[in-house]
Structure 1
């Protein structure tokens, strides 16, 4: 007698679908090979103690109990001077010591604040001061670096001031910006989430286009992989605001192209006050090969899936960062990309349209697994790391951001730019 099958065909089909989905989930996005390997497996971080440091003798309080705060200890030297200890989340790490703390007193006092770093690290960022209304830079009469010792002269009172390496733009503040400035009342923008960070913070994407998204060439914009690099984020803001501002150029551009903009790649690092890394202690801009970190993996999955579903190509990727000076890091390989002449034409336009501006370009195919190399090796796309100087004035950043966005759109709409 024939033995009866225990499972129905429908059940077997559902099991097969589940197994296929599980396998697909495990496999993840296709890896991209780079000449140099970087180990991006999780590394332990040292969490700073969130607290308010007090001194009964001087009646001065210093606190890091806010998103983006960074101070690891406070030592009172005398009635006039306190030392703040600033340490990284882990090492090895890039030499960009970030700090942010509130300071106040119950009486009006003049105090000297000295910055102390671990061996091998030195002060980088000129202090930015928030008085409760506006941010301003410490001037040369109040801030001095001598023999590796950085000292800030400050008048403190009952109103807490924030002293930070760069202006604070936490994940909540970034959300407020893109919601109000980019998303609200703009029919070309769809706000989505690609997933969650290590600690469960949202990783947003702004999906921007007019009409039918099928067969659209895609431009990808990224920023805040490295938490303190706020001047690059400022350029990203002006660049994106220009793209969504109503004009004949933007209308034509968004009729033809699609923009995927990621305004905060590493929200955990930003809110934890990290120098460089995510909550797993890893530089996300070294993980664009094996995608061990959830932030990069989910962004890559989203970009690839959008391109696959809509039969689109990634043609250009701009990753906004900050460093000591304005510079564009480019890939030397261009001939076999979708936009072989874009970089040369774009830079020529910037020099023509920005008064007194000379493009500072550093060109070399990416050896380590950074985003600009991922665009090249993974998609034959033009990849550029768009760097703004730590102390580039805000008005200059705005000017560069607006003009570079307009120049990009006009060039990509020009028939002389061949998109293969």
Structure 2
């Protein structure tokens, strides 16, 4: 399987190598280098994670991967670089100190796509063979690397090709700017999209990119939608965690998607302040989406009977989506007032419907894109029907 996609991956190709060349503080980001006589392993690049290495023989190596903080959700992220003084065939075993072997190993190819390597695994190990050419770096990662440089370029690309503007909603705990896109800021309606609360969840990030791509198309439906609705996209809620290769947390060891009611972190405080300011200025929040990844495609929703703004919007949206695609659309409603996840916070605080849009870890790019485009189109139709009273 080769993982690739249109705008997202093409931008990644352009900016990943620039980010690899950046100077990264090994003290702050806990980078690791393992030097052996003929080979070396390291994680000295943005989003890298490697804890320690053991040489078992000239061709056999064991790599240990541990999270930055414990306890942690078993999102065992790894990303490392392999080099060799002479071309060599290596047998590599990755051992996870906690959690389980969630992500299949992917190799960065010469065309900048990512290929899933043949592998064997147990609950806490992944084993594979790798040919390392002489003095040519080989990058292995749990998922394609979409680092902070990618988001900078993606925001610029979308802004340059549409009528969206880039602005800031605040800062992270390490003072990284939380940049966002918006269109029609004077509209009476607000549609909020966020993503990348959890660093390893790359398929969700790709779905967000494709979803926004459809919203910003220059065609009648999307253009009419943008006339009525202020679309605000915050694609990178956890830039600190992404940069440091965290499994789940931000720089303070906090799972941001459990912090929305407590709001103990700068990231959640900043975004809450932005939404509240818009809400208090008279802009009606009508819907919110939070993009993630898990072991399957699923939509975590609020129950249909819960009294929220535009009752029934979520269920009618997902029914419309079901009619548009050949893939399963799984609606998993739950209501736990006071719980710190984003969708519950939106429902509890603003009395508005919100959905956690989950994408399977190994969902193919084409399915991600088709589903996201169809989901965006179906949602635009549902919102416009309620806004204008027209049939679409």
- Residue in 1 that maps onto 2:174: 199
Rounded Cα–Cα distance in structure 1 between residues aligned with 2:109 and 2:41? 15
1:124-163 alignment to 2 at 5 Å? Answer: 124-139=102-117, 142-146=118-122, 148-157=124-133, 158-163=135-140
Aligned in 2, Cα 1:416/1:292: closer, same or farther, shift over 3 Å? closer
- Residue in 2 that maps onto 1:374: 345
- Residue in 2 that maps onto 1:256: 228
CA contact (8 A) 1:334 1:382 kept: no
Residue of structure 1 aligned with 2:332, choices 352, 355, 362: 362
Residue of structure 2 aligned with 1:303, choices 269, 275, 290: 275
Residue of structure 2 aligned with 1:50, choices 31, 35, 44: 31
Task: Give structure 1 stretches of 5+ with no counterpart.
Answer: 1-45
Deviations 1:291-321 (A, max 9, x none): 1100110011011112222x11111110000
Larger RCO, structures 1/2 (Cα 8 Å, 6+ apart): 1
Rounded Cα–Cα distance in structure 1 between residues aligned with 2:29 and 2:151? 23
1:11-90 alignment to 2 at 5 Å? Answer: 49-56=30-37, 59-90=38-69
Residue of structure 2 aligned with 1:389, choices 312, 336, 360: 360
Deviation of 1:47 after TM superposition, in Å, equals: 6.1
Aligned in 2, Cα 1:122/1:415: closer, same or farther, shift over 3 Å? closer
Deviations 1:350-376 (A, max 9, x none): 111112x22112111135211000111
Deviation of 1:172 after TM superposition, in Å, equals: 1.1
CA contact (8 A) 1:339 1:417 kept: no
Deviations 1:49-107 (A, max 9, x none): 32431111xx1111111000000111111122111110101111101110000112121
Rounded Cα–Cα distance in structure 2 between residues aligned with 1:316 and 1:61? 49
- Residue in 2 that maps onto 1:312: 283
Deviation of 1:333 after TM superposition, in Å, equals: 5.1
Rounded Cα–Cα distance in structure 2 between residues aligned with 1:169 and 1:314? 29
Deviation of 1:339 after TM superposition, in Å, equals: 1.8
Rounded Cα–Cα distance in structure 1 between residues aligned with 2:198 and 2:274? 21
Aligned in 2, Cα 1:185/1:276: closer, same or farther, shift over 3 Å? same
The runs of at least 4 aligned residues of structure 1 exceeding 4 Å deviation read 415-418
Aligned in 2, Cα 1:334/1:203: closer, same or farther, shift over 3 Å? farther
Rounded Cα–Cα distance in structure 1 between residues aligned with 2:53 and 2:29? 12
Q: Which has the larger radius of gyration?
A: 1
CA contact (8 A) 1:333 1:365 kept: no
CA contact (8 A) 2:193 2:289 kept: yes
CA contact (8 A) 1:85 1:117 kept: yes
Q: TM-score, normalised by structure 2?
A: 0.88
Rounded Cα–Cα distance in structure 2 between residues aligned with 1:102 and 1:280? 26
Aligned in 2, Cα 1:371/1:322: closer, same or farther, shift over 3 Å? same
Deviations 1:245-302 (A, max 9, x none): 1111011111111111101000000000000000011000011112110011001101
Aligned in 2, Cα 1:296/1:147: closer, same or farther, shift over 3 Å? closer
Tell whether 2:186 aligns with 1:213.
Answer: yes
Aligned in 2, Cα 1:358/1:389: closer, same or farther, shift over 3 Å? same
Rounded Cα–Cα distance in structure 2 between residues aligned with 1:132 and 1:103? 15
Deviation of 1:133 after TM superposition, in Å, equals: 2.8
Aligned in 2, Cα 1:147/1:80: closer, same or farther, shift over 3 Å? farther
RMSD: 1.8
- Residue in 1 that maps onto 2:197: 225
- Residue in 2 that maps onto 1:241: 213
Counterpart secondary structure, 1:298: helix
Q: TM-score, normalised by structure 1?
A: 0.83
Q: How many matched pairs?
A: 361
CA contact (8 A) 1:109 1:155 kept: yes
Deviation of 1:416 after TM superposition, in Å, equals: 8.8
Rounded Cα–Cα distance in structure 1 between residues aligned with 2:39 and 2:372? 41
Rounded Cα–Cα distance in structure 2 between residues aligned with 1:415 and 1:279? 41
Rounded Cα–Cα distance in structure 1 between residues aligned with 2:45 and 2:262? 33
Rounded Cα–Cα distance in structure 1 between residues aligned with 2:69 and 2:238? 16
CA contact (8 A) 2:199 2:248 kept: yes
